[in-house]
Structure 1
């Protein structure tokens, strides 16, 4: 019996130890949590808000032009599509970046186009057919503009007054400035003008028409998913334009 009583007392002692030690540990944990909450609640020194960085527009990065070429393109495009009372011009719309991106891609390299000779002079109704890819035509055209500006005004094209820029672009349009053998100034001007208009009204995902300002000037709805809710209405409906990016984001 003595051995049984001794074993019973040891068992009870272990139970008491586990009971009280567990309560103590649990109490310490709970007390720590409460204390932490209390401390946080009483802490009046709030951390400063994190600085929000401005959203970076990755379309405003060159893929083909160097900085001088970008500046010449922006200055020339602004004279073709200038800012006025109706809205922003080519520079504000990011047209130069649209042109840059196009020249860096398939369009600038004449990909998937018939490129075999002969490359003879074409009729006026046939359009241009050149052995030189578009990105090279554009590069040489910009250099021709810069050379003409230095020759007449001893300044870069981007530094000229609007009237001086217009005089050079008019000479280019009339074919009075030769870009390179086989490429007239008129051919380059037509390419520049066409791409400027494209950049002003393209979907913003392609680099131009920044913030859809070109569409807003025209009250153009952009890339809407559907028109079923307004197609039977007689009055003109002004809609907030949507870009392809808006659909990708969802």
Structure 2
């Protein structure tokens, strides 16, 4: 693992252009709720012919179209790319974390106040708040945002987003962040902020929630996780490198 005190030269140009940095440790959203009919694609197209050759213990709960999911994979990897410090979003299972959250109450804004008035104009809102004031829920915002990214890629570069080269992907992501991609549910910079937040959560949440695979996100931060006690190290003067512990480690196996 690279020295954390030195600047990593391997970050993608997208990060340099937009100033995105994955921040500190953030927790996962609470899981809950059930799949609802509103998440079923209005598109009756068949699943992509591409084969999903991922771990057999992983299954998509929200994204019933594989072509939407691969856009999500590439978008999260741009926000949190693999480099000398450790794995990127795809290896950390960030896309599966987001899929789980969207399939639960977070995806339907189940715990949010959902009565009007809704914001008719988002110009005076910060990007981080725009999705919160949208009429549509997070699930619908994600579906529209990812599909608009794919349509934009096909229109500009005659290829799908996941097949575009790094410069082309970065161009679309930068336009998304700047609010230049046409969307109906929320301005695209609001969707970008939501996507960035969910990506960071998936990279640093407890693996219980489906992301941070093998706790490698925590290892990049030297974060010890859900330790039961620090009694043995609390009085030590030097930094103690502890093997991280997940909440799943406390679950009894039958």
* Class of the TM-score when normalised by the shorter of the 2 chains: 0.7 to 0.9
Q: Give unmatched runs, 5+ long, in structure 2.
A: 1-54
Name which of 200, 216, 220 aligns with 2:219. 216
Within a 5 Å distance, the mapping from 1:76-225 to structure 2 comes to 76-120=75-119, 121-122=121-122, 123-124=124-125, 127-128=129-130, 129-180=133-184, 182-225=185-228
The structure where helix makes up a greater share of residues is: 1
Query: Take 1:231 and 1:70, find their aligned partners in 2: how far apart are those partners?
Result: 44
* Per-residue CA distance 1:76-111 (angstroms, 9 max, x = gap): 000110111111110111100000000000111101
Provide the rounded CA distance (Å) in 2 between the counterparts of 1:124 and 1:184.
11
Select the residue among 240, 243, 247 that pairs with 2:246: 243
* Cα 1:224/1:57, change in 2 over 3 Å: farther
For 2:241 and 2:218, the matched residues in 1 are separated by 11
Cα distance in 2 for residues equivalent to 1:89 and 1:110: 28
Aligned-residue offset at 1:127? 2.1
- Aligned-residue offset at 1:212: 0.7
Distance 1:57 1:244 in 2: 22
Deviation at 1:118, TM superposition (A): 1.2
TM-score (norm 2): 0.73
Distance 1:225 1:249 in 2: 15
> TM-score under structure 1 normalisation?
0.74
Task: For CA contacts below 8 A with separation 6 or more, give which structure has more relative contact order.
Answer: 2
Deviation at 1:57, TM superposition (A): 6.3
Aligned residues: 193
The structure 1 residue matched to 2:229, chosen from 208, 226, 230, is 226
DSSP 3-state at the match of 2:183: strand
- Listed as ranges, the gaps of 5+ residues in structure 1 are 1-55
Greater Rg over alpha carbons, structure = 1
